[in-house]
C-alpha cells in the first residue's frame, strides 16, 4: 500500500479521488491555498495540481480537516455509539475522544467491553479514555467500582488513548493509593482532568500529578491559569454547559496563543446535534466572537490531534487520513460535504447496533420505597441547591423555613430526591432546589451523573413516587408525571442511559418530551433533563444531592 501511495503522490499512477479547485486551509502554516487534494486508499497523497480516476470540482469551496470533538460523553446523546457517530459525521466531525464513564458507572467492565466493541462499528475515529473515577466519589452508590487493575487490562487496546477525567480532585491531591495506581499505570498515555474552580497551589499539585487536559473552565482567567500550568484547555460548549463565550472573548482580547486549546462538547443532546452539529457550531461561535477562522479551525483539528497524540490526523496534508470537511465559507461554516477515509458521507451506510450485554438492558433495580422517602424534617433554615442558568455549577442558598414554604407555593422551590437504583440498596435522600421551575407534578430520570441513580424533582410526594415507579417499569429513561398520570415517557433501555432507536426515530421523541417539560413550567433558560442530571454530581461546586444525602462540594462533606 505504501508504494502505491508514493507513486500516486508523484502522479505515476492516478489517485482514486481528486477534490479540485478548493481553498485548502493549511493548519500548519495558517495559510489558505488554492489547489487540488489527491486521495488514494483513504489517505491524502498530495495537495497541488492533480488529475484522478474520480474528480470533484469544489468551485472554490473551503477544504478543512475533519473536526475532532476532544471530550464527549456519547451516552449523554442518549443513543448508542454507532448512531451517535453517524450524526457527528453528518456535520464534519470525523474523530471523537470519549470517556464512557456514564455507562461504566452502570455496567462496569462489561460496559467497557461493549463500548469498545461498538467502537469498531462506528463510522468515525472513535477513541476512548478509560474512566478513572467509577464511582466519581465514595459519597454515592454506583452500579460498579472500577479498580486500577481492571482498567489496565484495556491499556493496550488500539482505541484507548489514556485515562479519563480525574474527577476526584481531593483524592488526587491527597494521593489516595488507588488513584495513584491509576495515574502511574497510564503515565505513558494522556490523562484527562476535571478541575472546576481549582486554583493556586492545589492546581499546581493537580498538574504535577500528570494531568494533561481540563474541560471544566468557565472563565478566561480559569482557562489561562490551567494553560500556564502546562495543561491543555478544552473549550466546552454543549447543551447545558456553555463556556465558550467567556473563554474565547478573553482569548481574543488578550491575543494569547491557542495551540494548547481545543473544542469539545462534553454533553450535548442529539436533537441539538442534528440542528447545528457539535464542533462546527463551536467554530462558528468562536469566529463570531472575533477569533480568526484559521485559529478556530486549528483548535478544532490539529490542536486536538496534537494534544491526544493522534498521528496523521487533523490536517489536509500528505500522508494524513482523508478525513475532510467541505465548507461553503468561513463565516457561516455550513458543511456541504464530508469525507471519511476518502469516502463521501452519502456513500457511508447508516449504522447498525451490536448485541449489548443483558446486564445493561435490565439496569433499574430499586428497593421498595413509599412517599416517606421524600420527607424533609422541618428546620429553621435549609441549604438549597441553586441552579445557575447555562452552567452545571450550582449555588448554595440558605433559605428560612418560611421562604421555602413560600417558594414551594410560588414554584421557585421544589423538592429533589435521589434513589439508589443499581443494587436495591435502601439509600435515598431528599432536599430542596431553586431555579428549576415546574408548576406542578414531577419529572424524573435515570440519567443522573455520574452514578446514574434515579433523580426526581417535584412539588408533591405522590407524583414523585409515581415517577420512580414508571422509570422502573420502562427500564430507565425520562418521565413526566402530573396528578398521577404519565404525561410523557422516553425509554432509555440501555443502562437507563441510551435508546436503541435510530436517530430519526429518537429525535422527535426527545423533542416532544423536552417541550412537554417546558409546558409544565420548567425554566426555559435551562435544559430540563441535562440540567437535572447534573444535580447529583458531587464533584462540581457548590452543592449537590446523592443517594447518601445533600453534599457540599467545596467542603467535600455532607451537609
Q: What pLDDT digit, counting tens, does each position of 480-497 carry?
A: 999 999 999 999 999 999
Q: Is the pLDDT of residue 227 over 90?
A: yes
Mean pLDDT for the stretch of residues 147-167: 97
State the pLDDT at residue 553: 92
Q: Is the pLDDT of residue 150 over 80?
A: yes
State the pLDDT at residue 392: 83
State the pLDDT at residue 269: 85
Mean pLDDT for the stretch of residues 111-125: 94
Among residues 26, 22, 43, 96, which one has the least CA distance to residue 298?
Answer: 26
Mean pLDDT for the stretch of residues 484-511: 96
Taking only the tens place, the pLDDT of each residue in 440-456 is: 999 999 999 889 999 99
β-strands 160-166, 125-130 pairing: parallel
State the pLDDT at residue 358: 87
Q: Is the pLDDT of residue 240 over 80?
A: no
Question: Collapsing DSSP states into helix, strand and coil, what is residue 559?
Answer: coil
Give yes or no for a contact between 315 and 300, defined as CB atoms under 8 angstroms apart. Answer: no
Among residues 504, 468, 503, 506, which one has the least CA distance to residue 490?
Answer: 506
Count the Cβ atoms, other than its own, within 10 Å of residue 341.
Answer: 18
State the pLDDT at residue 481: 98
Arithmetic mean of pLDDT over the chain: 96
Q: Is the pLDDT of residue 236 over 90?
A: yes
Q: How far apart are CA 146 and CA 137, in angstroms?
A: 12
- Cβ neighbours of residue 394 closer than 8 Å, sequence gap 6 or more: 385, 386, 387, 388, 535, 540, 541, 542, 543, 544
Tell me the longest C-alpha to C-alpha distance in the chain.
84
Q: Is the pLDDT of residue 292 over 80?
A: yes
Give yes or no for a contact between 247 and 220, defined as CB atoms under 8 angstroms apart. Answer: yes
State the pLDDT at residue 530: 87
Q: Which letter, b or e, does each residue of 75-86 get, where b requires 16 or more Cβ atoms within 10 Å of its Cβ?
A: bbbbbbbbbbbb
Map out the domains of the chain with their CATH numbers. 2-60 (2.30.40.10), 66-313 (3.20.20.140), 362-558 (no CATH)
DSSP 86: H
Q: Is the pLDDT of residue 52 over 80?
A: yes
State the pLDDT at residue 502: 94
State the pLDDT at residue 138: 84
Q: Is the pLDDT of residue 359 over 90?
A: no
- Cβ neighbours of residue 416 closer than 8 Å, sequence gap 6 or more: 385, 430, 431, 432, 433, 436, 455, 456, 457, 535, 545
Q: How far apart are CA 81 and CA 68, in angstroms?
A: 16
113: buried, middle or exposed (CB in 10 Å: 19+, 13-18, 0-12)?
Answer: middle
State the pLDDT at residue 198: 96
Q: How far apart are CA 44 and CA 320, in angstroms?
A: 6
State the pLDDT at residue 117: 93
Give yes or no for a contact between 433 and 535, defined as CB atoms under 8 angstroms apart. Answer: yes
Q: Is the pLDDT of residue 400 over 90?
A: yes
Among residues 172, 151, 170, 175, which one has the least CA distance to residue 162?
Answer: 151
Mean pLDDT for the stretch of residues 141-159: 96
Q: How far apart are CA 101 and CA 145, in angstroms?
A: 11
202: buried, middle or exposed (CB in 10 Å: 19+, 13-18, 0-12)?
Answer: middle
Compute φ and ψ for 194, nearest 5 degrees.
-160, 90
State the pLDDT at residue 299: 98
State the pLDDT at residue 369: 95
pLDDT band per the 50, 70, 90 thresholds, residue 354:
confident
Taking only the tens place, the pLDDT of each residue in 165-205 is: 999 999 999 999 999 999 999 999 999 999 999 999 999 99
β-strands 413-419, 335-340 pairing: unpaired
pLDDT band per the 50, 70, 90 thresholds, residue 80:
very high
Amino acid at each position: 500500500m505504501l508504494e502505491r501511495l508514493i507513486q500516486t503522490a508523484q502522479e505515476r499512477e492516478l489517485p482514486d479521488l481528486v477534490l479540485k479547485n478548493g481553498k485548502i486551509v493549511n493548519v500548519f502554516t495558517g495559510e489558505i491555498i488554492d489547489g487540488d487534494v489527491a486521495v488514494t486508499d483513504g489517505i491524502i497523497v498530495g495537495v497541488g495540481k492533480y488529475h484522478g480516476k474520480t474528480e470533484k470540482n469544489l468551485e472554490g469551496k473551503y477544504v478543512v480537516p475533519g473536526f475532532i470533538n476532544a471530550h464527549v460523553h456519547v451516552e449523554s446523546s442518549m443513543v448508542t455509539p454507532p448512531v451517535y457517530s453517524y450524526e457527528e459525521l453528518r456535520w464534519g466531525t470525523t474523530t471523537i475522544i470519549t470517556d464512557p464513564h456514564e455507562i461504566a458507572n452502570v455496567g462496569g467492565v462489561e460496559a467497557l467491553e461493549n463500548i469498545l466493541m461498538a467502537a469498531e462499528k462506528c463510522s468515525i475515529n472513535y477513541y476512548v479514555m478509560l474512566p478513572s473515577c467509577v464511582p466519581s466519589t465514595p459519597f454515592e452508590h454506583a452500579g460498579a467500582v472500577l479498580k486500577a487493575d481492571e482498567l489496565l487490562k484495556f491499556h493496550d487496546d488500539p482505541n484507548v488513548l489514556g485515562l479519563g477525567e480525574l474527577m476526584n480532585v481531593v483524592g488526587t491531591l491527597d494521593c489516595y493509593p488507588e488513584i495513584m495506581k491509576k495515574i502511574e499505570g497510564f503515565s505513558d498515555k494522556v490523562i484527562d482532568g476535571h478541575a472546576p474552580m481549582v486554583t493556586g497551589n492545589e492546581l499546581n499539585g493537580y498538574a504535577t500529578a500528570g494531568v494533561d487536559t481540563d474541560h471544566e473552565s468557565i472563565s478566561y482567567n480559569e482557562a489561562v491559569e490551567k494553560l500556564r500550568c502546562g495543561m491543555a484547555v478544552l473549550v466546552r460548549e454543549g447543551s447545558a454547559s456553555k463556556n465558550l463565550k467567556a473563554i474565547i472573548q478573553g482569548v481574543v482580547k488578550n491575543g494569547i496563543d491557542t495551540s494548547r486549546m481545543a473544542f469539545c462538547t462534553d454533553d450535548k443532546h442529539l436533537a441539538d446535534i442534528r440542528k447545528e452539529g457539535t464542533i462546527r457550531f463551536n467554530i462558528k461561535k468562536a469566529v463570531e466572537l472575533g477569533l480568526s477562522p484559521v485559529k478556530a479551525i486549528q483548535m478544532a483539528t490539529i490542536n486536538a490531534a496534537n494534544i491526544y497524540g493522534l498521528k496523521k490526523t487533523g490536517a489536509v496534508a500528505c500522508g494524513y487520513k482523508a478525513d475532510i470537511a467541505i465548507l461553503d465559507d468561513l463565516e457561516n461554516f455550513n458543511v456541504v460535504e464530508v469525507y471519511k477515509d476518502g469516502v463521501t458521507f452519502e456513500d457511508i451506510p447508516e449504522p447498525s447496533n451490536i448485541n449489548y450485554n443483558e446486564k445493561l438492558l435490565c439496569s433499574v433495580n430499586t428497593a421498595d420505597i413509599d412517599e416517606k422517602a421524600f420527607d424533609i424534617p422541618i428546620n429553621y433554615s435549609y441549604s438549597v441547591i441553586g441552579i445557575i442558568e447555562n452552567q452545571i455549577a450550582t449555588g448554595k442558598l440558605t433559605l428560612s423555613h418560611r421562604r421555602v414554604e413560600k417558594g414551594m407555593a410560588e414554584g421557585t422551590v421544589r423538592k429533589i430526591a435521589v434513589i439508589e437504583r443499581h443494587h436495591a440498596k435502601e439509600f435515598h435522600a431528599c432536599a430542596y432546589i431553586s431555579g428549576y421551575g415546574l408548576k406542578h407534578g414531577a419529572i424524573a430520570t435515570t440519567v443522573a451523573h455520574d452514578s446514574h441513580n434515579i433523580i426526581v424533582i417535584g412539588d408533591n410526594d405522590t407524583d414523585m413516587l409515581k415517577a420512580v415507579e414508571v422509570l422502573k417499569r420502562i427500564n430507565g429513561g425520562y418521565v413526566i408525571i402530573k396528578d398521577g398520570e404519565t404525561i410523557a415517557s422516553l425509554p432509555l433501555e440501555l443502562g437507563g442511559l441510551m435508546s436503541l432507536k435510530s436517530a430519526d426515530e429518537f429525535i422527535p421523541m426527545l423533542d416532544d418530551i423536552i417541550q412537554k417539560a417546558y409546558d409544565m413550567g420548567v425554566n426555559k433558560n435551562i435544559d430540563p433533563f441535562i440540567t437535572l442530571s447534573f444535580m447529583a454530581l458531587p464533584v462540581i461546586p457548590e452543592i449537590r444531592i446523592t443517594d447518601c444525602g445533600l453534599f457540599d462540594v467545596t467542603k467535600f462533606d455532607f451537609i
